[in-house]
């Protein structure tokens, strides 16, 4: 006898891995008739005629071995939101996936790209392949994972990373602000095999918070010991520079820092803009919330290998103040146009919670946010003294940011977690943060898989083609294209 729906809902909430969660979610979708919606092409949310036309056209060209016409069509016709197929409403109906037509179209594009990459053609050679994949890949864009601030609450990001990594969906581009920089730094300095080993939480140093005595705190205008934070970050991240981490893992790490002085702007640190800066010092600066930790001078490795001050006269603080999610700069530097956000900032998450999507609460939320922004904008215009003016500028920066992405993953906070936001997590608390992050990510997995499959295929085809240039066998660079 099949379990009744309420028991399936219970099992879904207590699933211990994604495979189990997905199986139960699919069964619930079936019982509730969502399979019918998924199988029907027509829907007001997207242009199904356009998607179907393109799908049939691509299949015909590949079947006819018409590579030049196929390349021409892909080069001018690929778009991540073709016919509005990235519409969030299309992923809100079912627990798993979306319209079958969208899934089939994405899969056909990936198959076509692999076919072009792996097949030898008399009239379409290696150099033409490279040119096609580079140009069309740049035009299509890529995804980034963005990890917000949130103090100890940001340990939720570990579970998000784990869920995406286990499904082969972890983007190469990862940004982190404040607490998010700790997790991003640890991931971006490790290969896939090394990341898997970090799931053993016993290997992590969790001692980041240590209060200073009263006299030292007053003298330094900070409550927490920066040396303890620095040791914690170095033990978890290592002493790699941004460039060294990129060369070791191929991952592109970005960390935001905010200026401690006037007339400076927030910076996005990465292997292009600051290749020789030490990652753990960048993370320390990004974690230095004013009043809790003092501003930080960055460190860099010189040509001879010595570690020196980087921009010695400048100090930096919490990256969330100026740019929690640096979307525009990621787009400019790394060709990113699709953003997966893990958002844990306690001043943001309550306004984004899913259970406030209807009724009076969203109206109250929008009114509070709008009124707050107007008040801060007015104060910014009239208060310019050095002390209060700096506070107003920081509040202005906080309230005038975007805190969500194309896919946004949110935790559910309890008063106990909020009370522990500025405390070192215990091992049991870390396990719960990881479990919460995984469970919050599972409902987004198929959406992420579908929306990133084409860009992942572009990247992997280029890796294979470059491997061919240097005389490696195809098997040395195996193609991995996921199927929903």
pLDDT surpasses 70 at 386: no
Choice among 46-50, 150-154, 435-439, 473-477 with the minimum mean pLDDT: 473-477
Q: Which of 14, 7, 102, 10 is nearest to 442 (CA)?
A: 14
Nearest to 206 by CA among 482, 466, 469, 426: 426
CA distance linking residue 433 with residue 161, whole number of Å: 12
Q: Identify which of 333, 144, 332, 340 has the alpha carbon closest to the alpha carbon of residue 251.
A: 144
Band of the pLDDT at 228, cuts 50, 70, 90? very high
**Cα 5–16–345 angle (5° rounding)?**
100
Mind listing the pLDDT tens digit for each residue in 97-111?
Answer: 999 999 999 999 999
Instruction: For residues 230 and 240, give the distance between their C-alpha atoms in angstroms, rounded to a whole number.
Output: 14
Q: What are the C-alpha distances in Å from 274 to residues 116, 277, 298, 329, 439?
A: 37, 6, 11, 14, 35
Active site (catalytic) residues: 178, 318
Determine contact, residues 61/73, Cβ cutoff 8 Å: yes
Give the pLDDT confidence score for residue 221 in this predicted structure.
Answer: 83
pLDDT at 482: 40
Phi, psi of 314 (to 5 degrees): -110, 140
At 400, the pLDDT band (50, 70, 90 cuts) reads low
**140-348+405-441 CATH, one of 3.20.190.10, 3.30.930.10, 3.40.1090.10, 3.30.300.30:** 3.40.1090.10
Tell me how far apart the alpha carbons of residues 17 and 173 are, in angstroms, rounded to a whole number: 25
Chain-centroid distance, C-alpha 360: 31
Tokens of 484: 């929903």
Secondary structure element (H or E) that encloses residue 299, with its range: strand 299-301
Question: Positive or negative CA dihedral for 135, 136, 140, 146?
Answer: negative
Q: What pLDDT shows up at residue 153?
A: 95
**Over 90: is that where the pLDDT of 350 sits?**
no
Of 187-201, 248-262, 385-399, 459-473, the one with minimum mean pLDDT is 385-399
Q: 36-50, 125-139, 295-309, 394-408: lowest mean pLDDT where?
A: 394-408
- What are the structure tokens assigned to 414, written together? 């309890």
Q: In this structure, are residues 292 and 421 in contact, taking their beta carbons and an 8 Å threshold?
A: no
Kindly report the average pLDDT of the chain as a whole number.
87
Mean pLDDT to the nearest integer, 334-339: 96
pLDDT at 371 over 80: no
> What is d(CA 143, CA 122) in angstroms, rounded to the nearest whole number?
34
Alpha helix (H) ranges present in 119-204?
126-140, 156-166, 179-188, 192-197
Domain ranges (residues) in the chain: 32-139+459-468, 140-348+405-441, 352-401
Q: Which long-range contacts (CB under 8 A, 24 or more apart) does 300-306 make?
A: 300/241, 300/274, 300/276, 301/241, 301/276, 302/276
Contact by Cβ (8 Å): 385, 171: no
**In which band, very low, low, confident or very high, does the pLDDT at 410 lie, cut at 50, 70 and 90?**
very high
Please choose, from the candidates 281, 275, 282, the residue with its C-alpha nearest in 3D space to the C-alpha of residue 303. 275
Single pTM value for the model: 0.88
Q: Which residues pair with 338 in a beta bridge?
A: 143
Closest CA to 2 of 26, 31, 29, 37: 31
**Confidence tier at 265 by pLDDT (50, 70, 90):** confident
Instruction: Say whether pLDDT at 372 is over 70.
Output: no
* Gyration radius of the chain over CA positions: 24
User: Quick one: angle between helices 67-77 and 126-140, nearest 10?
Assistant: 20
78-101 pLDDT, tens per residue? 999 999 999 999 999 999 999 999
**CA distance linking residue 171 with residue 165, whole number of Å:** 9
Residue 84: other Cβ atoms inside 10 A: 16
Which of residues 228 and 198 earns the better pLDDT score? Answer: 228
pLDDT at 405 over 50: yes
What confidence score (pLDDT) does residue 4 get?
83
If we measure between CA atoms, which residue out of 122, 154, 144 comes closest to residue 459? 144
Question: Per residue in 56-75, pLDDT tens?
Answer: 999 999 999 999 999 999 99
| Contact of 239 with 201, CB cutoff 8 Å | no
Question: Which of the four pLDDT bands, split at 50, 70 and 90, describes residue 396?
Answer: very low
């Amino acid at each position: 006898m099949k379990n009744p729906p309420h028991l399936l809902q219970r099992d879904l909430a207590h699933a211990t891995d994604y495979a189990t969660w997905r199986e139960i979610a699919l069964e619930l979708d079936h019982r509730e008739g969502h399979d019918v919606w998924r199988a029907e092409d027509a829907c007001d949310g997207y242009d199904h005629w356009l998607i179907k036309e393109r799908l049939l056209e691509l299949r015909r060209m590949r079947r006819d071995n018409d590579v030049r016409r196929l390349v021409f069509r892909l080069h001018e016709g690929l778009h991540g939101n073709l016919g509005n197929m990235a519409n969030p409403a299309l992923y809100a109906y079912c627990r798993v996936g979306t319209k079958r037509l969208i899934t089939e179209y994405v899969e056909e594009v990936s198959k076509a790209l692999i076919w072009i990459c792996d097949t030898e053609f008399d009239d379409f050679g290696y150099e033409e392949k490279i040119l096609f994949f580079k140009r069309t890949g740049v035009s299509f864009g890529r995804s980034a994972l963005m990890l917000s601030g949130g103090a100890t609450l940001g340990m939720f990001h570990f579970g998000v990373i784990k869920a995406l990594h286990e499904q082969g969906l972890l983007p190469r581009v990862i940004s982190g602000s404040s607490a998010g920089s700790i997790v991003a730094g640890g991931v971006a300095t490790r290969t896939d095999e090394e990341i898997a080993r970090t799931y053993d939480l016993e290997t992590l140093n969790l001692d980041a918070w240590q209060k200073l005595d009263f006299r030292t705190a007053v003298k330094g205008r900070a409550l927490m010991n920066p040396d303890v934070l620095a040791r914690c970050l170095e033990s978890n991240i290592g002493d790699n520079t941004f460039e060294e981490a990129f060369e070791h893992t191929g991952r592109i790490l970005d960390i935001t820092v905010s200026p401690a002085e006037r007339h400076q702007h927030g910076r996005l640190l990465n292997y292009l803009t600051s290749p020789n800066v030490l990652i753990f010092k960048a993370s320390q600066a990004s974690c230095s919330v004013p009043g809790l930790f003092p501003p930080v001078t960055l460190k860099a490795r010189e040509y001879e290998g010595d570690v020196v001050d980087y921009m010695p006269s400048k100090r930096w603080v919490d990256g969330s103040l100026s740019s929690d999610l640096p979307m525009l700069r990621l787009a400019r530097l790394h060709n990113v146009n699709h953003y997966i956000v893990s958002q844990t900032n306690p001043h943001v998450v309550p306004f984004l919670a899913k259970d406030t999507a209807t009724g009076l609460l969203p109206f109250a939320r929008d009114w509070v946010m709008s009124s707050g922004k107007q008040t801060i904008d007015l104060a910014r215009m009239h208060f310019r003294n050095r002390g209060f003016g700096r506070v107003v500028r920081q509040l202005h920066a906080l309230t005038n940011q975007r805190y969500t992405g194309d896919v946004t993953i949110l935790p559910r906070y309890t008063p106990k977690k909020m009370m522990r936001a500025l405390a070192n997590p215990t091992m049991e608390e870390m396990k719960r943060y990881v479990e919460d992050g995984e469970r919050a990510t599972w409902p987004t997995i198929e959406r992420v898989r579908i929306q990133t499959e084409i860009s992942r295929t572009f990247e992997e085809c280029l890796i294979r083609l470059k491997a061919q240039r240097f005389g490696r066998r195809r098997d040395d660079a195996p193609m991995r294209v996921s199927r929903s």
